[in-house]
Structure 1
Amino acid sequence: MTTAAAPAERDWTLTSGWTLGLLTVIYALNYLDRQILSLVLPLIKAELHVSDTMLGLVTGFAFVLFYSLMGIPIARLADRSNRRNIIAIGCAFWSAMTMVTGLVTSVWQLAVTRFMMGAGEACGIAPSNSMIADLFSAAKRPLALSIMTAGNGLGSLLLFPIVGWIALHYGWRSTFYVAGAAGIVVALLFFLTVREPARRDAKPLIRRETFKEAMAFLAGSRAYIWILAGGAFMGVSLYANIVWNSSFLVRVHGFNMAEIGSTLGPIRGLASALGVVVGGMLVSRLGARDARLRLIVPGIACILVLPAEILFLLPSDPTVSLIGLALATFLSAVHLGPVYAACMSLVPPGLRATACAVFLFVANLVGQIIGPLLVGALNDHWASLYGDLAIRYSMMVGASCATVAGLFLILAARHFIPDTRRAEAA
């Protein structure tokens, strides 16, 4: 295994910048490949003739089952072996499954490709977070993680208009072919140009905790448990919106695929990128004065998501609605980088990828299963009363979960300082 030299005190170097840049691109592709399905969902629904409930089940449960099941063992592997290889192989695999999605002819085939895509994408976020933790010091880590997480928003900003144009002119299947091919190219570039960074503190790796011991350590952190609860409820809000925003704009405001790509993508992309970067900068600055603010700031942002979502869902004027969408997306993104950084501060270096993977397991298992399915089932249930406008009220139920998530993050802040000291002493 080729390993780079231990990082110097200066965090921002050509090597760390290039690695962070490619990890940001991979993060963007990771989320873009999921979001393509939500963008073209109206076209798939029309061609495959399936209900909203079934679409919610396939988009959520089918993906998250393998994603969640594979996430923790892959993270355990990343805590012990070459993370560069894990990320490159995973990116190539999920990109190949994205291309295969363009070939499906039934909802069951779509479910299978979502299963397999989830298995590949489990190789992405936790190992990437672990690499960044070794490239950047604790003081710079929230900002670096926020920059990587901004890849989600930048992908939407730059790539969603292209995807919408391709869907309109060449059909929804072509969008999966193009996105998958791009991912395979990036995976190869990452493998050839990035080296595995040295672990900043190899001491905890001398004694390799068993899975039971690792889980016991995580369970002993009250701050971490509250973060898991917050992540679960925020996941419901996030994934309900990711999956159903396009359908909302089609049904309520009459948008077509090109209009969705040229408005939803840039608005959500720019707002998300700004949210994660602003969140990272605020937490890095305020957290230096009081470490509890690393969770209080994102907690407040989550609480404010519901009013912004109401501004998105209720107005009849599409311009006002899109303003609400931008605010909700910005506020929803503030917590992402700081929460990842907080998880890694609550464990020894040898458990960083595992801590992130467990967080993702809970957030995605609850969020991606319940969020899309909840909105889809409520759409079908309320269709007789509200028709196409049922989605307006269904999505409001999902958005209310963000308020609960914010309260849980603020509760986690109460225990953050002593639990961080516990990790440092382990």
Structure 2
Amino acid sequence: MITRDTHATEPMNSAAQAAPSVSPARAWYAVCVLLTAYIFSIMDRQILTLLVGPIQKTLGINDTQIGLLHGFTFAAFYGVMGLPIARLIDRGNRRAIIAIGIAVWSLATAASGLASEYWHLLAARIAVAVGEAVLLPGTVSLVADLFTPDKRGRAMGVFGAAGPVGSGGGLFAGGLILGAYTLSHPVLPFLGAIEPWQATFIAVGLPGVVVAFFMLAVPEPRAAKQGATGGRGPESKIVNVPVAQVKDYIVRNGRTFCAFIVGAGVFYMSVYGFAGWAPTYFVRHFGWSYQEIGKLFGLLMVVAGPAGTLFASWLGERWIRRGVVHGYLRVAMLGVCGITASGSAMVLAATATPAAIFLGFAAFFAMFMFGIGPAIVAQITPAPMHGQVAALFTGALNLLGAGLGPVAIGLITDYVLRDRNAIGSSMLIVFLGAGALAFLLLRSGIRSYGDSMKHAALWRPAHEPQDLASAPPTSAAQG
């Protein structure tokens, strides 16, 4: 049933008319830098999927240990650090905090190439997780100040398109780099000969440090406000919202938050399971090399991934313009159905050609949440809480998605099916189970979604009067 709620959109319309404090050109420069950082973030995270075989050969580890590297350990530290980092983001200089995070994860990725034991690699991946925990909460908070509500979906969609570009670009470039280093036998000064997979980590990680310097030139509306005369401050002006108030708001809107955050996390069990094990599935089931599947998977992610992200953003905005206030949530449900069907078809295909076709469809649907997730956070959350709720969102994606998806597939393969060549059956089990649960969770939030939008627009800190007639002003750019 289509739900129309004109009251939920009135604050958004009035906010859209507020005077900008940052020019559209500078606002879009910020999106471009954040997009580039996101590309390197996903690239540094996903390159591990292409190096499973070589790492297992060098370090002598099994699928479960690889799953821990892919998922649970990374996700646990990402989630644990996410909330304290988000508190800093909601109160501090987001530009500087994000720049530091970029530098940390880039150097940690390069340090992964120096690992000679499993625990060395695990420690480096933990550092990558801590650095990357900064980016999405910081971006949601910053973009919410740079763009008016009616433009945020587009800006977030463009930013979200970087996810599949980073994943696909990392796999494609990683395949080329791994192939080149396999032939050339890399040697580092002072360290001597290293394995091709180690050289690949170093080559992918170091360029990200440059992005940290570009981040320092991104506009920070909070800093601009301090030196401005007249005009209004940014929507997420520095407000020290106590944790108790954040908790009370989430509890009051518990149905919506549970449906969205937990549903998205379960959805991403399929996404991260697919992304983490699809290359290995093609190697084991069809006899491909990691270089071959890296190039194909990378190309599909670069093409189909951004298409999925941008399509999801466009479809969500279209439904919202037609009065479907929960339009983004409907798009998420469509994404769940799509990746469940296409991922299952991929592992059931008899030959490599149809499997590769379904791989492309799965890449398309897997990226839906990258385009709409941050926009949903901005819709249902008061501006001073954007960073903290974005951290809950990314924490769920990582703890449930990255934390359980890849390792569940590894555990089923190692200890239930006890056959490393049954990786496809393990993936199918996770696809079907996670897909069904995610769909039901997301659907349960439809009725309460419009109310949560109104609560977010009308929210005030406890020491201020609750204005039930109008929404807080914004100074976002008419980007």
CA distance 1:201–1:233, shift in 2 (3 Å): farther
Unaligned ranges ≥5, structure 2:
1-16, 182-195, 226-231, 460-479
In structure 1, what is the equivalent of residue 346 of structure 2?
A: 312
**Structure 1 residue 201: deviation in Å?**
5.9
Which one of 18, 25, 37 corresponds to residue 36 of structure 2? 25
Q: Aligned-pair distance for 1:89?
A: 0.5
Give how far 1:202 is off. Answer: 5.0
Instruction: State which of 354, 357, 362 in structure 2 corresponds to 1:323.
Output: 357
Residue 194, structure 1, aligned to residue 218, structure 2: yes
Aligned partner of 2:336 in structure 1 is: 302
Task: Write the letter of the residue equivalent to 2:256.
Answer: A
Q: 1:81 aligns with which of 67, 70, 92?
A: 92
> Could you tell me the percent identity over the aligned residues?
29
> Is residue 94–residue 117 contact of structure 1 (8 Å, CA) maintained in 2?
yes
Task: Give the Cα separation in 2 of the matches to 1:345 and 1:226.
Answer: 15
- Cα distance per residue 1:39-78 (max 9 Å; x no partner): 1111101111111112112321221122111111111111
1:58 is matched with 69
> Is the alpha carbon distance of 1:12 and 1:324 closer, same or farther for their aligned partners in structure 2, counting shifts above 3 Å?
farther
- Which residue pairs with 1:278 in the alignment? 311
Change (3 A) 1:46 1:204: closer
Residue 219 (structure 1) aligned with residue 219 (structure 2): no
The whole-number CA distance in structure 2 between the counterparts of 1:412 and 1:11 is: 35
Cα deviation digits, residues 61-106 of structure 1 (max 9, x gap): 2211221111111111111111111111100011000010001011
Q: Which of 316, 335, 359 is residue 369 of structure 2 equivalent to?
A: 335
Cα distance between partner residues in 2 of 1:285 and 1:114: 39
> Secondary structure of 1:304's partner?
helix
Report what 1:389 is aligned to. 421
Bigger helix fraction: 1
| Cα 1:176–1:211 shift into 2, 3 Å | same
* Shift in alpha-carbon separation, 1:207–1:155, aligned structure 2, 3 A: closer
Report the Cα distance in structure 1 between the residues aligned to 2:252 and 2:91, rounded to whole angstroms: 23
TM-score w.r.t. length of structure 1: 0.93
What is the Cα deviation at residue 7 of structure 1? Answer: 8.5
Aligned length: 418
Distance in 1, Cα, partners of 2:251 & 2:178: 45
Aligned equivalents of 2:130, 2:383: Cα separation in 1: 25
SS in 1 for 2:150: coil
Larger radius of gyration: 2
Q: TM-score, normalised by structure 2?
A: 0.83
Task: Tell me how far apart the structure 2 counterparts of residues 17 and 206 of structure 1 sit (CA, whole Å).
Answer: 22
Structure 1 residue 357 corresponds to structure 2 residue 391: yes
Write the distance in 2 (CA, Å) between the matches of 1:240 and 1:393.
12
2:411 counterpart residue number:
377
* Residue 325 (structure 1) shift: 1.1
Is the contact made by 2:347 and 2:424 (CA closer than 8 Å) also made in structure 1?
Answer: yes
CA distance in 2, matches of 1:168, 1:84: 37
Partner amino acid, structure 1, of 2:155: A
CA distance in 2, matches of 1:74, 1:89: 12
Kept in 2: contact 1:78–1:127 (CA 8 A) = yes
Amino acid at match of 1:212: A
Equivalent residues in 2 for 1:43-192, closer than 5 Å:
43-170=54-181, 171-191=196-216
Residue 282 (structure 2) pairs with residue 258 (structure 1) = no
Residue 415 (structure 1) shift: 0.9
Structure 1 residue 136: Cα displacement: 1.4
* Partner residue in 1 for 2:464: none
Which stretch of the first structure deviates more once superposed, 416-425 or 336-345? Answer: 336-345
1:422 equivalent to 2:455? Answer yes
Q: What is the Cα deviation at residue 291 of structure 1?
A: 0.9
Work out the CA distance in 2 between the residues paired with 1:105 and 1:153: 30
After superposition, give the CA deviation of every residue in 1:328-382 in whole Å (9 maximum; x if it has no partner). Answer: 1211212332222112211211001111111111221122221111100111135
| Per-residue Cα deviation, 1:187-220 (whole angstroms, up to 9, x for no partner) | 11222x2121348865775752211221221122
Instruction: Give the letter for the 1:250 counterpart.
Output: V
Match of residue 442, structure 2, among 399, 404, 409: 409
Provide Cα deviations, 1:268-292, integer angstroms capped at 9, x if missing partner.
2321111110000111121122212
1:52 partner letter: D
Letter aligned with residue 22 of structure 1: V
* Structure 2 counterpart of 1:339, one-letter code: G
**Structure-2 change in CA distance of 1:413 and 1:399 (3 Å):** same
Do the aligned partners of 1:156 and 1:266 also contact (CA within 8 Å) in 2? no
1:233 aligned residue: 266
What's the Cα RMSD here? Answer: 2.1
Specify the SS of the correspondent of 1:140.
helix
1:181/1:160 CA distance change after superposition, 3 Å = same
SS in 2 for 1:79: helix
Q: Kindly indicate whether the alpha-carbon contact (under 8 Å) linking 1:303 and 1:404 is maintained by their aligned counterparts in 2.
A: no
Contact kept? 2:22, 2:219, Cα under 8 Å: no
Q: Pick 1 or 2: higher relative contact order, CA cutoff 8 A, min separation 6.
A: 2
- 3-state DSSP of counterpart to 1:56: helix
